[in-house]
Structure 1
Amino acid sequence: MSVIATRHFLALNFSLAHNACCRKIGSGIMVFVVLTFTHTAHAENNDFSECISRIKSQAKAEGIPDRTVSKVLDKVKYIPRVIELDRRQPEFTQTFANYFNTRINDERIQRGRELFTRHRPLLNQIQQETGIPAQYLVSFWGLETNYGGYFGDWSVVDSLATLACDPRRSTFFTQELFNAMRIVDAGDISPERMIGSWAGAMGHMQFMPSTFLRYAKDIDGDGRRDLWGSIPDAMGSAANFLRQLGWTPGLDWGREVRLPPAFDYSLAGRDQMLSEAEWAKLGVTTTAGTPLPPSEQKAALLVPSGHQGPAFLVTKNFYIIMRWNRSEFYALSVGHLADRIAGATALHRTPRADTEKISREQVRQLQMDLSTLGIDAGEADGVMGSVTRQAISRFQKSTQRIADGHLDASLLIAIREAAGMVR
């Protein structure tokens, strides 16, 4: 029984113990629960203490000074809630409409425009030095922490130590904990001020410690890389990160486009890039219906809500955004929010809202059903990734449907029935 579950059980039986008709039984249960809770907490604390002792030895072997190891780890705490969050998976799949409409709203756009104007001299300087357009930096800022409104309220050191002592991803988080110590040792931040997400992402731009060490910069000249209290440091570090990832100056992220009737949606997907001239020959136009420029610039077509939703041509810089966060929905949101901050209008076609909820277990079964039909949908993990969407598109095309890779309840049933006929 977990510590959290034991606490709930304890509260329940405390109530029972005070019920007159059950007082004798309840008191016996109380003794058992208290003993169970005490034993579980004691064992957990012992395991954590032993783990931290090992990490201290490893940190010293990594060359981290004793004083820094002690400063960071002597008062570190185990947080059971962090483990719960690490194990949690959403019950239902996220749709583009729900994701996008939650994040791109009038308030966030207006606030982004205000900050874009307020910090324009700083942002212009950074853009001149790095080639990263100002509106993208503000867009990342808005999506990561709502423009610094919420960094997270977790002790990064406690979170990383908790995850480092958990076997699931111990190696990764142990290294991140070492990196956090190196940040403290450099004098950039104290352990107490190192606040962030439950998984250790920090500051205005939510850098992990390893990202901080590689890309954070002291822009304001105070001798510290302060991604919590210095907007210049945060913006300059984000620009440096994007530049080092390979951002192409002078190239946008992509754009919304209009597709012709009877378009072959099987051409959509991140792995299929054509020149804009080639897309133009296929009947793709701007949202206003004018021809695309006759450019040899490569772009891929994305239809995240299917044929009834918006369509986007995305460039190489879109893939750079995805190296920040490996989600198409996130990258599309960053790109569009950046456009809106710079003064662009709303999407020509609103993302199609899906009223039907599809669970991860249904997606996992779908992936197995597609495999039964001889269509590779990737690992049966319940995640609607690009491989699964391409597999759905192949099924749609083979059954004379619009092959947009979009899943709804009726298609889910059709695939289930088709797989049943094969078995």
Structure 2
Amino acid sequence: MARYFPKKPAISRFGGLLSLIPLFFCASFPIQAQNTDFAACLDRLQPEAQKAGISASSFRQFTDSIVPDMSILEKLDYQPEFKQPIWDYLAALVDEQRIQEGLQNLRLHKNTLARIQEKYGVDPATVVAVWGVESNFGQTFGKYPLVQALGTLSCYGRRQAFFQKEFFAALRILQSGDITPERLVGSWAGAFGHTQFMPTTFERLAVDFDGDGHRDLMDNTEDALASTANYLAKNGWHSGQPWGFEVKLPDNLSIAGEGRKKKRTLQTWINKGLTDVNGQPLNKLAPTSMQAGLLTPAGVNGPAFLVFKNFDVIYSYNAAESYALAIAHLSDRLKGEGAFKKAWPTDDLGLSRSERITLQKILLQKSHDIGEADGLIGSKTREAIKVEQTRLGLQADGRAGQKILRALRQAN
């Protein structure tokens, strides 16, 4: 699993009065009290860890020097106030830079990817697309020491039982020697490596593809790419079948109740009047007996897709349809296919990563305190955009889109 998105309500494992204390107050405990409380929690976890296959000496070795990182609790409970439209999400994940870097990696790892496809049945473009979205081809792994992060989440906040399983898995990985402690870093929620496996996923599905005796997703590209293909294969990937394709909807078709999960035969969709985006019969693209669901991420006025089992497999990697569509679309672009045919229903399209950086550089030139021009649109960038939108006579909604970038360029 690539990422963790918490959904359940907060539950403290300590009970009593402490369970009523808000997390922001927990985060403000004196450091000494935090460390003492954390050490007591680890002491309670040690017998359970031993039952989970972690020796007492290994547990001490890997946990004795860690202290809790209470800043992680803010991320655990953070609810994004600024929801991205699908066209913004895809503009940043499937941009020209990522396509070109993906093509370079397809060439660079051609032989390895061919052997991976032969063994697991997953095409190179899909594997590389996951790699590109998850870690920008190994350029962005995350900075959190996993034992510290997962240890913190095992003792504080909600879903502690979930994180304890991941914590114990991380300790088993270190105990096995597959990855060294200083290299086991990743996201705040525990995903790590080139394609961001959770520790329990690593234990189940990571492979030693180069045969060096270690399963290494941090420093071994062959292991990482093969493990990704193994994940997809084990989750039901059908070799040689498409994830889906863009379709043209007839004017009178109702999409009410339709979706990825509501599968119908391709012949049923043909009978309903669907064609491919160029108006060609769908039976030229896939067998009419294949089951497909209708995905319309922006409603009837945006691009529409028929999606098959392989789309669901990509979805299982990170349970979000926008994520699965990004992977699927990037894989198509790496195969030489073009952008979606139908336009998104907006007059303000999203920005690529390079365009986001350009926008932030302009804001910095105008003395806005937004931090580094890193392409990440946070609250400070949105506030600065609101100021400039007001100055330029635009709607002050803080949106980082083509309109504000174009207006600022023209103003300059």
Secondary structure of 2:246's match?
strand
CA root-mean-square deviation: 2.1
- Runs of 4+ aligned structure 1 residues displaced above 6 Å come to 1-7
The answer to whether residue 97 in structure 2 is matched with residue 104 in structure 1 is no
Aligned-pair CA distance for 1:3: 9.7
Aligned-pair CA distance for 1:45: 1.9
Aligned-pair CA distance for 1:155: 0.6
Give, as a single letter, the amino acid of the residue that structure 2 aligns with 1:168: R
Distance 2:79 2:116 in 1: 38
Distance 1:172 1:349 in 2: 41
Moved more, 275-284 or 208-217: 275-284
1:311-390 pair list within 5 angstroms: 311-353=304-346
> Over residues 228-286 of structure 1, what are the superposed CA-to-partner deviations in whole Å (9 max), with x where a residue is unaligned?
10110001111111111111112111011111222222253123212112111211111
**Structure 1 match to 2:355:** none
Aligned-pair CA distance for 1:145: 0.5
Distance 2:158 2:348 in 1: 35
User: Does the 8 Å CA contact 1:267/1:301 hold for their aligned counterparts?
Assistant: no
The answer to whether residue 297 in structure 2 is matched with residue 310 in structure 1 is no
> Over residues 165-221 of structure 1, what are the superposed CA-to-partner deviations in whole Å (9 max), with x where a residue is unaligned?
014111111111110111111110112210100111010010000000000111112
1:14-413 pair list within 5 angstroms: 40-266=30-256, 268-293=258-283, 295-353=288-346
How many residue pairs get aligned? The number is: 326
* Structure holding more helix per residue: 1
Distance 1:321 1:47 in 2: 40
Q: Could you list the runs of 5+ residues in structure 2 that have no partner in the other structure?
A: 1-20, 350-412
Aligned-pair CA distance for 1:350: 2.9
Residues 147 and 51 of structure 1: is their aligned pair in 2 closer, same or farther, counting only changes over 3 Å?
same
User: Does the 8 Å CA contact 2:73/2:157 hold for their aligned counterparts?
Assistant: no
Give, as a single letter, the amino acid of the residue that structure 2 aligns with 1:161: G
Q: TM-score scaled by structure 1?
A: 0.74
Q: Could you list the runs of 5+ residues in structure 1 that have no partner in the other structure?
A: 8-36, 357-423
User: Does the 8 Å CA contact 1:97/1:354 hold for their aligned counterparts?
Assistant: no
Distance 1:46 1:234 in 2: 38
Aligned-pair CA distance for 1:61: 3.1
> Over residues 346-396 of structure 1, what are the superposed CA-to-partner deviations in whole Å (9 max), with x where a residue is unaligned?
11013334869xxxxxxxxxxxxxxxxxxxxxxxxxxxxxxxxxxxxxxxx
Distance 1:317 1:139 in 2: 14
**Structure 2 match to 1:398:** none
Distance 1:103 1:154 in 2: 23
Aligned-pair CA distance for 1:2: 8.3
Aligned-pair CA distance for 1:101: 1.4
User: Does the 8 Å CA contact 2:35/2:67 hold for their aligned counterparts?
Assistant: no
Distance 1:42 1:71 in 2: 21
Bigger-Rg structure (1/2): 1
User: Does the 8 Å CA contact 1:268/1:300 hold for their aligned counterparts?
Assistant: yes
> Over residues 395-422 of structure 1, what are the superposed CA-to-partner deviations in whole Å (9 max), with x where a residue is unaligned?
xxxxxxxxxxxxxxxxxxxxxxxxxxxx
User: Does the 8 Å CA contact 1:3/1:40 hold for their aligned counterparts?
Assistant: no
Secondary structure of 1:337's match?
helix
Higher RCO (C-alpha 8 Å, min separation 6) = 2
User: Does the 8 Å CA contact 2:53/2:172 hold for their aligned counterparts?
Assistant: no
Give, as a single letter, the amino acid of the residue that structure 2 aligns with 1:98: D
User: Does the 8 Å CA contact 1:69/1:181 hold for their aligned counterparts?
Assistant: yes
